[in-house]
Structure 1
Amino acid sequence: MQLNLIELNGLHFVDSRDVAEIIDKRHDHLLRDIKKYIDVISTAPTLGASDFFIPSTYEDRKGEIRPCFLLTKKGCEMVANKMTGEKGTLFTAAYVNQFNQMEQQLQSDYSQLSPHLQQMIRFEQRQNEQDQRLSKLENNWQIDSFQQKVIQKQINKRVYEIRDNYDNSKTGTRRLFAGIHRNFRDAFAVPSYRDLRKLDFEDAISWIKSWRPLF
């Protein structure tokens, strides 16, 4: 049992079709499971679904374009962790063996490079790691004071747009404001709109414009 590794931009992946064949599972069922994994991963701000699964496509025998995923080593580990019994063990052994062989080959090739090239590669790797850390930090930065004012104005605008359809009394208006703030906190998992991530700013504006009270 062997996985075919695909190399893209110096990274290695496994096609979900190969994974489905090895674990004896329908490909569409595996895609369904992977989409569920992605939905869960996407709820965690410190995780990125692309570290596990990359959306891709292939052409079937009829010449039609079909969806698939490219799995990283982490993605293979996630699929394997959801499996039990002999199939799960064999799949785990297959991907671990294949990725380890590729890593050993890369290390062997790397050792044959000149010291100068090795230094350049190490520098580029460190730079990429720093860029990734900075990107994660930027994604988790909170909105600035201007964006906070924009959010507040959009909330005010939405409440006054819809209050005549519910209760335009002072008490009714206060209930609408309390409701939209409460629902906003729940929707974006923040203590206050002031704590919203910059990454979620545009989504928050769209959410406010379509908000309706649940009572």
Structure 2
Amino acid sequence: MNQLVFVKNDQVVTDSLNISEVFGKRHSDVLRDVRDLGCSEDFRQRNFAESSYINSQNKEMPMYYMNKKGFTLLVMGYTGKEAMKFKEAYINEFERMENELRAPRILSEKEQLMASMKLTIETAEELTTVKSEVKEIRTMVEQQITLDHGEQRKVQKSIAQRVYELAEQIEHPQLVFNSRDQIEVDVRQEVSRYFRELHREIKDRFGVASYKDIKRKDLQSAINYINNWIPRKVVVS
């Protein structure tokens, strides 16, 4: 009885040859019964599929596949005690195989191993993608982060240190001044000019409104620039 129905294209079906054999009818009569059902064309297309098979004379012959609805309609007119027994057997087998087809299939040990390996690979690929995306986002964020308070102080100290280094060069022995007071005034003026000039060039160099807005990624570059900065000119009146 397990051969009464079978799975074809993910659907439980039987065929006219099978019905012919089980119900003891000539196949040509079963074909005629299918063609003379008088059902709607829509029902026929949904529940019957015309096909063919090769007979013992190696000749191609017509046949039909049908699902449970098609089978039920076809054998409705088959009568007799034996016919009823076969109808019940078919219907029970249709239901059994349909339930089996709907139920989740238990994977073999090999299939489970393959599925596990596939899942591991897919997970690894997804993790790599996520890590790459996170890295890109982190890089973008880091590129936009400005200096914190401690880093701002570091830049500020570097500016002051460079300016006062340059200020020491103003008091050169070769320079002649009218008085010591005049020297101090001139040095203070130059120091003030150095601060203004260096701050302005830092803003221009790094495209910021203030040294506080320098991007963290540019901190070391800014320090190096400050440490090697030279004013445009030194004027001592």
Could you state the TM-score of these two structures normalised by the residue count of structure 2? 0.41
Larger Rg: 2
Greater relative contact order (CA < 8 Å, ≥ 6 in sequence):
2
